[in-house]
Structure 1
Amino acid sequence: MKESGRKALLREHRRENIARRLQRKPRSQKVSDFVLGAIDGCVTTFAVVSGAFGAGFSPLVILVMGFANLLADGFSMAVSNFEAVDAQRKHLAAARRTEERHIALVPEGEREEIRQIFANKGFSGETLESIVTTITADRELWIETMLTEEYGLGQERVSPLVSALVTFTAFVFIGVVPLTPFLFSSLEQQVQFNISALLAGLMFFVIGMLKSLVYARPVLRSGFSTLLLGGAAAALAFLIGYWLRALFGIDSV
């Protein structure tokens, strides 16, 4: 590791900086929802554009197909995300009720679960008993510990409606970008498609860079990775459209 990198790590691990970092709230789920919607919106819409262009469809048909797909798929994805987050929230609530009931009915059994959980982590003797006593003395801490250790559930409270709205907004906002060149009828269709491809590529790269903030990956590598994957999806759609056009002898529509 370079000396400058080591110095930065040492600075991050000073007592006051550790305390500040641990008190910081986890990164909002909204960022993940936005990245999810944005990537899918751009990939899906530009795939439609590429497939329709490869099939020889007119700009008007491309716009109709693109906007219909944009709204329908965006809504579908938002609903799917709503259901997924809602199911996760209900699972967490059910697990919490279960633990509350168990602690009320069989507290000694639940204490033994805490004891075995931390014994498996390597604690023993007086240290282990001190941990058990400390945790079980605080009912809320006891429940939260069981949810994390036994069920593997995080404690972040996420609103299904907010997640769905963020996903839909990102899907539409980013997904509409590849369609904008086809709104300018004064441009030749090939030029429209070229501009659409450039805009889509830019969106893929920017979204990939944003994704790196969520998953703590190198910024440029994440940008190029998303660009490559999005471009591959678009190229596949174009080839299928072009192949079907040749297969069925479709003229420009």
Structure 2
Amino acid sequence: MPDQLEHSHDPDAIAQRLAQGPKANYLPDAVYGAIDGTVTTFAVVSGAIGADLSPRVVLILGMANLLADGFSMAAGNFTATKAAADQAAQLRDQELRHIRLDKDGETQEVREIFRAKGFAGEPLESLTRLITSRRDVWVDLMLAEEYGIGAASRSPVRAAGYTFLAFVVAGFVPLAPFLLAIPNAAMVAIVLTAFVFAAIGSIRSRWSARRWWACGLETLAIGMTAALVAYGVGALIARLV
């Protein structure tokens, strides 16, 4: 970690930052989409090259896969994110109903949560009274502690959009040399794709304690392994049929 503060601790800055609330994180959607887009498209290209198919066929198969699989991933992410949001809303209603029907029982749950964190005696009772005096705070605590649901709300549309955009942009790279009819397109595609894999991994390091080159090499190894498998399968099937 750099020896510097990532944000200001001035009282006004703290108040403004906390007033904005937690922000939804769409980085995993973009990283997952970019890696999967590059891996799957490059795998199709590698398989087609291994089968000694023409550049035209490589481009057709690659573009069809790029758009169809990108849409499929985005739709799947949209559905999963929406399901998580629906579940959070259902559990919030459930907790509100429990508080209404059995306030003492829910109060005891709050007490046990803080007891497990090491509080006891009067501090424990004071915390319990404070939390249960604000219903929204009470419900947020129960959602976080009982079900692991955070306060940040993720948009299904944005999650799907980040996934699709990253998938298409990164996945287009292996196809670009064939679309532009660059000489020795297969080799150029391999070099460009290797660079994309390494770049995606390196970008991940901004949100990780690991070195940028370690993240880059890990992603590069994953992508190239998938490409080698696809190339081998394509070459094998081409000999068998």
TM-score normalised by structure 2 residue count: 0.91
2:77 aligned partner: 81
Distance 2:230 2:84 in 1: 34
Q: Which 10-residue stretch deviates more, 232-241 or 215-224?
A: 215-224
> What corresponds to 1:211 in structure 2?
204
| Superposed counterparts of 1:18-167, under 5 Å | 20=14, 23=18, 26=22, 28-167=24-163
Aligned partner of 1:223 in structure 2 is: 216
Do the aligned partners of residues 65 and 128 (structure 1) sit closer, same or farther apart at CA in structure 2, a change above 3 Å counting? Answer: same
Gaps of 5+ in 1: 249-253
Give the distance between the partners of 1:106 and 1:215, measured in 2 at CA. 43
Is 1:234 the equivalent of 2:230? no
Conserved 8 A contact 1:82-1:164: yes
Partner in structure 1 of residue 192 of structure 2: 199
Count of aligned pairs: 238
1:85-113 residue CA offsets vs partner (Å, 9 max, x unmatched): 01110110011001111112211111111
Counterpart AA for 2:171: G
Alignment check: 8 A CA contact 1:54 1:242 kept: yes
CA shift in 2, pair 1:114/1:52, >3 Å: same
Runs (4+) of structure 1 moved beyond 6 Å?
none
Deviation of 1:151 (Å) = 1.3
**Relative to 1, partners in 2 of residues 1:213 and 1:131: Cα closer, same or farther, differing over 3 Å?**
same
Q: Secondary structure at the match of 1:228?
A: helix
In the TM superposition, residue 186 of structure 1 has moved relative to its aligned partner by 5.7
Deviation at 1:216, TM superposition (A): 4.4
Percent of pairs with identical residues: 44
AA at the equivalent of 2:195: L
Structure 1 counterpart SS, 2:140: helix
Over 3 Å counting, the alpha-carbon distance change for 1:215 and 1:95 in structure 2 is farther
Amino acid at match of 1:223: G
Alignment pair present for 1:243 and 2:239: no
Provide the rounded CA distance (Å) in 1 between the counterparts of 2:202 and 2:40: 19
Contact persistence 1:31–1:214 (CA under 8 A):
no
- Asked if 2 retains the 8 angstrom alpha-carbon contact of 1:51 and 1:237, the reply is yes
Aligned to 1:251: none
Q: 2:29·2:162 contact (CA, 8 Å) conserved in 1?
A: yes
In the alignment, is the contact (CA less than 8 A) between 2:77 and 2:159 conserved in 1? yes
1:165 deviates by 1.2
- CA deviations on 1:13-35 (whole Å, 9 max, x unpaired) are 99937984984865642222111
1:175 aligned partner, one-letter code: G
Alpha-carbon shift at residue 204 of structure 1 (Å): 0.4
Q: CA deviation at 1:81?
A: 0.3
**1:181-200 pair list within 5 angstroms:** 181-185=177-181, 187=183, 191-200=184-193
What is the deviation of 1:235? Answer: 0.7
Specify every segment of 5 or more residues in structure 2 that has no aligned partner in the other structure, as ranges.
Answer: none
Structure 2 distance, partners of 1:62, 1:14, is 48
1:218 CA displacement: 2.4
TM-score of the pair, normalised by structure 1: 0.87
